[in-house]
Structure 1
Amino acid sequence: MIIRLYEELPIDLLQEFYREIQKNIEKGILSDRMRDELCLIKKAAEKKGLYILDEYRSTR
């Protein structure tokens, strides 16, 4: 399963991978379907005690 691959990556690489996918979705290089990958990466990071916040979240 692909989440297992993400679980084996070091935290810094998970963060970079997440940000790169997110950036490419925003630019339109990758489709919105890649957001599923972002969820898998977040789950793997959470298992390591890291919580990834979206850069483009709106604040109220």
Structure 2
Amino acid sequence: MVSRENLVTLGFVVAALPVAYAVQETTGRFLFSFVAINVVGIVIPTAINEYLNGRQSDS
């Protein structure tokens, strides 16, 4: 059984790849695509999961 946290993380990791490619093609700088893949693939899903866990524990 797949948890909500895993689905959120997997979705954003999969979305991070085309975002990083688009940033690389647009800017031509690897550093920006590296930051984009980290933000979209790690920071955003972690923040969403923390928010949803906090909401779930309040209920």
Fold shared by both chains (TM-score > 0.5):
no
Q: Which has the higher Rg, Structure 1 or Structure 2?
A: 2
- Taking structure 1 as the reference length, the TM-score comes to 0.34
- Name whichever structure is richer in helix by fraction: 2
- Taking structure 2 as the reference length, the TM-score comes to 0.35
